[in-house]
Amino acid sequence: MSTSDISRSGKPAVVAHRGASGELAEHTAAAYDLALSQGADGLECDVRLTADEELVCIHDRTIERVSDGTGVVSEMTLAQLREHDFGSWHASGESASVLTLRELLTMTLDWHRPVRLFIETKHPVRFGSLVETKLLDMLHEFGVASPPSADHSRAVVISFSAAGVWRVRRTAPMLPTILLGDTARIIGGTAATAVGATGVGPSIETLRMHPELVDRAAAAGRVTYAWTCDAQPDVQLCADLGVRWVATNYPARVRDWLVTVD
């Protein structure tokens, strides 16, 4: 199976948002493993740099919401983060260690079928552009920073930061990038063109109000990545509009819904 087969023809491909995070604690190995076993076409993660410049999969700048500890991610070393439980806060009750991007990349690339990893860089952060530099270094190390084409890439860099997207496009021009945004002004404007993004990522709320964004993106040669689609009417809307990727906390449920889409 080639990476071009990742998406089922004519229907959106399913991206597990922080793993199967509706069922297990977000950004944990268990959540991603469950998403893979449920048939997710892609995985999404947020990355931040620790004080010792390790890339870890954490959404917030602090760890209070997703662990039993406190502190700012960028002020803690990986070893310090390893001291805390990042899973037992969730209703599932499963304990978990902080997940590094290296571990998630290994899991994704070792899976028995091709899966695409969508990596979101967070901004503003104290390390600035270093997050993209470290990310690209790691993608080069894993051999996925220079795909033959965007369609055959195993990694996609996504960000709300136009500058972050531009840094990736300038350094790794063949690597697909998605400019995220929660307003039509950002997604439908000139920002994606200016930074050379290969896709746009509106929130599902923005897409409901501005469905024309998908056609506008397609006319400019860009794919659309919609987030976060957990309700069946939203999944149907994305399918009707021709959205390429739908990010969801419930990949199994969304895949089942898409089976019924004509």
In a domain, 225, yes or no: yes
Domain count, the chain: 1
In a domain, 69, yes or no: no
Q: How confident is the model at residue 9 (pLDDT cuts 50, 70, 90)?
A: low
In a domain, 251, yes or no: yes
In a domain, 32, yes or no: yes
Residues designated catalytic = 17, 59
pLDDT, tens digit, 9 for 90 and up, residues 207-256: 999 999 999 999 999 999 999 999 999 999 999 999 999 999 999 999 99
- State whether the Cα torsion 220-223-224-225 is positive or negative: negative
Strands 116-121 and 13-17: unpaired
Give the range of the structural domain holding residue 19, as residue numbers without chain letter.
13-63+99-260
Dist CA 32 CA 110 (whole Å):
13
pLDDT, tens digit, 9 for 90 and up, residues 142-158: 999 999 988 899 999 99
In a domain, 181, yes or no: yes
In a domain, 29, yes or no: yes
pLDDT, tens digit, 9 for 90 and up, residues 24-71: 999 999 999 999 999 999 999 999 999 999 999 999 999 999 999 999
In a domain, 224, yes or no: yes
Q: What string of DSSP letters covers 15-73?
A: EEETTTTTTS-TTSHHHHHHHHHTT-SEEEEEEEE-TT--EE--SSSBSTTTSSS--BG
Residue 131's domain is classified under what CATH number?
Answer: 3.20.20.190
Which residue would you say has higher pLDDT here, 262 or 200? 200
Q: What string of DSSP letters covers 204-237?
A: HHHHHH-THHHHHHHHTT-EEEEB---SHHHHHH
For residue 29, what pLDDT is reported? Answer: 98
- pLDDT of residue 141 exceeding 90, the answer is yes
Q: How confident is the model at residue 1 (pLDDT cuts 50, 70, 90)?
A: very low
